[in-house]
Structure 1
């Protein structure tokens, strides 16, 4: 029959329109604010997976997750997430498997304070750690920064809510909120769009040695190795640096880190870092 004679061609046409078989689903935690836009850490992870030779379908978790929840999920290997990125600590490196390449090139340890918009000159006369200890600092309860700042003698007020921190600062519950240099203007602008007016301090930068790593479950060494291999390839061919500059060069130019007074802090949570590899670190 004519239809049967053409059946092989019809089947070939149907299968040609089907999507290729996806690789293993690899889930990372959706930010707790529910943000879905592409961000640097996701783009860098996708680049590493491509260059590392793994066959993965990278997707956010269906629902937003707090940092503590995503770490718990990874530690207990419950299948909700397979990779996270977070600040390294002794505790995290004991419970999870780190990929010891700092994805923000150490910028995560350079912190610029947000202050209330009616006190933009609050820190103009601060010249050292003791001067800064006169002011109260806000942090999220489960961030490592809370322990770091308290270990350096600061009065730290905590919140369990990320967006709540900015509203607490605006309401005068504490004096300043140090944020990552690469994110501080973005966060200020986002809060302004929500009616919360804050100012970026123009005088100081707090610094403590730190690194954000990708982490996997300790049951997934092959995944950690794929990410490590891909990051090393991206460093070698310059694509890591190009992506870093694409995201952060303009912010770093306007923040003028090299012209600010640097308040050096100790980091008691810090495992050994690959400091001998100068190409892994940003320096103002």
Structure 2
């Protein structure tokens, strides 16, 4: 199945302010303030279907991680993600067209790093550990410590990619996208190199393998990216992005109920 891109406006400054004292208590050996805050959030949300991150590469709940010390880092990372979710609000997203935007930006000589910032952003670990070295791809941040500390695990656990952008990077990328809008007026068929599997020979298999469909959708997803950045800049906040595959309702496959989550 194809992966989808979703994005949220992210008040990362407020999140960092709320998370810092909880992390300090946790690092000192006291997880109770963090546990209590998460329980409060879950009570307010009620059904997991009401959660802003429902089926965005994760679901609300501990799914047994609270019963096995081997998964403690993942448990705490999920708890901080739950807190982070309260600082998110809806935003324009790129949906299933995000690879088309990647293709266009690469064709117009954007660097891999800048393309990745538009699509995903920076690693979430930088929210709490800003001095951690990282590569272009957030998934390439390799923890030195074993077991993996919770601050590396503050992301939807079934997402393929996840990241965030501070407002100053949003502003720079937004401006660059605006400057490049004139490219949409050019003959995209002569300027953009499509993936090898997107061809006339494969067009009958799926619209996503049809070159005509790609050239139709590329200007649309470009404008969606412009609007995504514009919404964040206008609000004076950052962005939080997830690339994921939907897995459906956890009640159909999980071992957790809403009652277990509080």
- TM-score of the superposition, structure 1-length normalised? 0.25
Q: Greater RCO between the two (CA within 8 Å, min separation 6)?
A: 2
Query: Whose strand fraction is larger, Structure 1's or Structure 2's?
Result: 1
Q: Which has the higher Rg, Structure 1 or Structure 2?
A: 1
